[in-house]
Amino acid sequence: MQENKKQLGLWTSTSLVVGNMIGAGVFMMPATLASFGGISLVGWICASIGAFLLSKVFANLSKLLPAADGGPYAYSQKGLGDFAGFLVAWCYLVSVWCTNAAITVSFISALSTFIPALATNSLLAAFTGLATIWFLTWINSLGILTSGILQLITTILKIVPIILIGIVGLFYIHWNNFLPFNTSGTSNIAAITATTTLTFFAFLGIECATIPSGSVANSAATVAKATTLGTLIATIVYILSTVSIMGMIPATQLKTSVTPFADAAIMIWGQGAQYWVSAGVAIAAFGALNGYILIQGQLPAAIANDKLFPSLFARKNSKGVPALGIVISSLFVSVFMAMNYTKGLVAQFQFLILLTTSTIIIPYVFCTASFIILKFKNNFNSNLALIGTILLASLTFVFCIWIMLGLGQETVFWGFFLTLFSVPIYVFAIIKRDKKLTN
């Protein structure tokens, strides 16, 4: 389809989904899963099924509420009310800030292959990270189409090395590397739950096309297609590359590897391959950071438009971008990123990331509840449509609860604590909004 001059089309929207899903983390996933054995492939399949269920929920929501800026926030607010919408937005925004900090660190780590000083000089690494954050902040202030074009280019570039290794690696597989099937030391159910939880986080970003819906051409159809297509592309890339790498490299070697994709590339093409794989990791991180910086401006703008956040987050520049909101968010990202390069605060940074891992599931649960509520407010064409809606919502809800159980008690506890921390902020926003309405 053709894109309007200043709007995102199908392919740029799809690249926002794929680009934000496929970050630098996927390059370490085979090593993370190696200690579980071949059973981790079952985890990938389960996570993929859950991702497709969620993609269908978001695709349906985008049709029910076309051009609803804010994605998960807008859907939760329409279905469950202001408070639910605010909780979802808060959880999502904090998660994006911390995610962007972690992505920046991954980007610097990948660049250290070409600039070794970045691995030893914390000041240089922190400066490079800050320069990257603020360069992409500037790019995103130039207009959403500029951001979308950059996202499309980086998505294509990052997928190429992953797919190449995935396809060519199939010819280097030793099937005995998948045996014994379960090496985790736990039951099959426990191993599948653990690997599903781990691999599902590679799919975070399913909802990204829904957040700037108001800036998407023919949003009702485009966002739904982009969400489903993006999830399909990411699933193929993930499973293909994981099967190849786990089949190529013995588990005992793979689980201690810090560069599994580079190790696999060296086995196929020789020592020089590590450089273009490292370039792929850098591009993956750069593209994901660009996509999430776009999101960190669009989401608070949507909340501010509903008078649930300071109005300055809704102010737009001459390009129609909530630039001030992006800048404020980038300030938080910069602080979190810099913490990683301050020895005394590394533990706090890691703990902050742990706190936010469970908060991203909360928007998914709330959106699933909103989906079924909004569907029931509309007339069903047939009993089959009614059954399909109930089945989709029920399966998605069960999957999200399963993921939360897989996260572990401590992570879930602190995630809910972080969520409750937003309550006084919401109360203050409501009081301020009501005062304005009565004046």
**What global pTM score does this model have?**
0.82
**How many angstroms separate the CA atoms of 204 and 21, rounded?**
6
Q: Give the model's pLDDT for residue 352.
A: 56
**How many angstroms separate the CA atoms of 340 and 346, rounded?**
5
Q: Give the model's pLDDT for residue 52.
A: 94
Q: Give 188's Cβ-side CA count (13 Å radius).
A: 6
- 68: left (phi > 0), else alpha (psi -120 to 50), else beta? beta
Q: Give the model's pLDDT for residue 189.
A: 93
* Cis, peptide link before residue 212, omega less than 30° from 0: no
Residues 67, 214: contact at Cβ < 8 Å? yes
Opening angle at CA 218, ends 216 and 223, nearest 5: 60
Q: How far is CA 87 from the centre of its chain?
A: 18
Residues 251, 35: contact at Cβ < 8 Å? yes
Alpha helices in 306-382 (DSSP H): 323-339, 346-357, 361-377
Q: Tokens at residue 414, please?
A: 């602190």
For 88, counting Cβ atoms within 10 Å of its Cβ (0-12 exposed, 13-18 middle, 19+ buried), the class is buried
**How many angstroms separate the CA atoms of 43 and 367, rounded?**
24
Query: What does residue 159 show for φ and ψ, rounded to 5 degrees?
Result: -75, -35
Q: Give the model's pLDDT for residue 437.
A: 63
Q: Give the model's pLDDT for residue 54.
A: 94
**How many angstroms separate the CA atoms of 130 and 133, rounded?**
5
**Cα distances (Å, whole numbers) of residue 228 to 300, 320, 398:** 25, 28, 20
The amino acid present at 379, given as its one-letter code, is: N
Q: Give the model's pLDDT for residue 2.
A: 42
> DSSP letters of 58-95?
HHHHHHHSTT-TTTHHHHHHHHH-HHHHHHHHHHHHHH
Longest dimension (CA), the chain: 74
Q: Give the model's pLDDT for residue 4.
A: 47
**Cα distances (Å, whole numbers) of residue 115 to 108, 120, 131:** 9, 10, 15
Q: What structural domains does the chain harbor?
A: 12-438 (1.20.1740.10)
Query: What does residue 216 show for φ and ψ, rounded to 5 degrees?
Result: -110, 130
Q: What is the mean pLDDT of each run of 10 residues along the chain (439 residues)?
A: 57 81 72 87 93 93 83 89 87 83 82 84 90 93 80 82 88 89 90 89 81 76 88 89 91 81 88 83 85 85 83 85 90 85 56 65 91 85 85 95 83 74 76 70
Collapse the DSSP code of 8 into the 3-class scheme (helix H, G, I; strand E, B; otherwise coil) and give the result.
strand
Cα-only R_g, the chain: 21
**How many angstroms separate the CA atoms of 363 and 368, rounded?**
8
> DSSP letters of 23-43?
-GGGGGHHHHHGGGGGGHHHH
